[in-house]
Structure 1
């Protein structure tokens, strides 16, 4: 029998892009969901940052560490960016997450905001599907010192500067030399991120149950330099050989400027993010709905 949920944390969308009427709308939706959870017999708490930025009161507010220690479910209301941020922070706590979509695409916040009550009620009672997602753990090492350490649920991206020429990257996998790649950048993507930047760079779609990473060059100098799928047990190392104003991005976290000789190592995190979906959820349904994938098929 799957777990029923009684202590639920609410996370909302409140960042700088959410202002004025959008912020008021976000606050009203959060309050509506919180009241619904309370009627279902749940003890409801708010993420502290969500409470502060939306001004929503009437429920206890906890920080991320307290939520990870005390709650048995996280409910994320927003878009995929909101879910990525919460997922990274909750990965080490193993807190399962449900996403209600208040954004645009909604690949991982997959419950529509309209009529969410009918979908959410049975999930709170233990009727759901479990979907565990792998996470990348990346470090930037400079002069033998780690200057940046982050998790990424979607991807790790090394990019050239906006006005500079191509980057040259020395690429190794498990300590073995792969190539010196000249390109605008390089993406290391999880299956979750395979529908994001990697896809636009020509990478393949990967089912989330596959244990692998996509390594996809961005606008490579050599056209035979194609995306490759690697085992998720691999450790990928990228060294900046040449190129000015390069940056590294870990989902939405950034190291603004890389230096010649910097080494970025990417490996599988010991943690995973657990998403919960309604019964009957299907990854291929998501592709068809969100990407209009294989339209015209029977």
Structure 2
């Protein structure tokens, strides 16, 4: 325990769920028992109710001096945690209590192995590309924000299409009447981008994605471009209604006719902690429950004793 002095773990939980409170409480007690300090957000500390935890003075500084942040909840909780940890470079370790939980590394029944991994520092951190998002009106910068998964420009009124012109690297590409446009990262390719019909991109691929949503156009295909590219979406002046910008489903900016949204790679990535080095293919199969019965790869053939030529 003496070797763990000075080590600090941030815990973030979806405290509106009883199972998240229970698992987070069990984790905190075990980690404190190993001599590590545990910090919680002040309001969450009331719900988790574990003696001896630190309470963060502010959300902005909650991740300061923490070697890792362990998140109990679904992808929405992890996206909230990314807002807290990104500027500090604190790696996020997600324990899934939601549905698919694509960003999570462990399931709720893995809590004992998660405790062991954190206490013994048996994890690796990988950097995930994020988006820098800027909104202009009459050429004036009026809002800046960021996203880990996606920045989506959407129509504000259900009964009206949104008329937009899209641009890549300063050159106009096409005009769409649509429900919206998703600009995504490889991390977000399995989120809104996936639902909109965009491609799944392996997370170690550096790229930006643009996918129209229900576009009324002959050319309305998903696009994968360089990570150094700048994507732009202009809301045409002739729109009768406004649009809205959503970043990770959490941060919004109203978009009146004439607004321009620019999306590029952000200088500050998000760091995700990994306990396992399993291929991303295996993660896809597990998370989407993909049918692979009948596969007879080399490793499987060797396991069955059939040899490489069986």
Aligned to 1:50: 44
Alignment of 1:244-263 (within 5 A): 244-255=241-252, 257-263=254-260
TM-score normalized by the length of structure 2: 0.86
Kept after mapping to 2: 8 A contact 1:91/1:273: yes
| Larger relative strand fraction | 1
Pairing partner for 2:90 from 87, 95, 112: 95
TM-score normalized by the length of structure 1: 0.89
Kept after mapping to 2: 8 A contact 1:71/1:95: yes
For 1:256 and 1:106, how far apart are their aligned partners in 2? Answer: 26
For 1:141 and 1:253, how far apart are their aligned partners in 2? Answer: 20
Task: Name the SS for the 2:99 alignment partner.
Answer: coil
Kept after mapping to 1: 8 A contact 2:128/2:187: yes
Pairing partner for 1:277 from 259, 274, 278: 274
Q: Shift in Å at residue 55 of structure 1? A: 5.8
Indicate yes or no: 2:155 matched with 1:160: yes
Aligned to 2:81: 86
Indicate yes or no: 2:11 matched with 1:10: yes
How many residue pairs match? The answer is 287
Pairing partner for 2:28 from 34, 38, 48: 34
Alignment of 1:113-262 (within 5 A): 113-241=108-236, 242-243=238-239, 244-255=241-252, 257-262=254-259
Q: Whose RCO is larger (CA < 8 A, sep 6+)?
A: 1
Kept after mapping to 2: 8 A contact 1:88/1:152: no
Pick closer, same or farther for the CA change 1:169–1:103 going to 2, 3 Å.
Answer: same
Q: Shift in Å at residue 297 of structure 1? A: 5.2
Which sections of structure 1, spanning at least 5 residues, go unmatched? none
Kept after mapping to 2: 8 A contact 1:164/1:245: no
Kept after mapping to 1: 8 A contact 2:78/2:94: yes
Tell me how large the CA RMSD over aligned residues is: 2.0
For 2:221 and 2:19, how far apart are their aligned partners in 1? Answer: 44
Deviates more, 1:233-242 or 1:278-287: 278-287
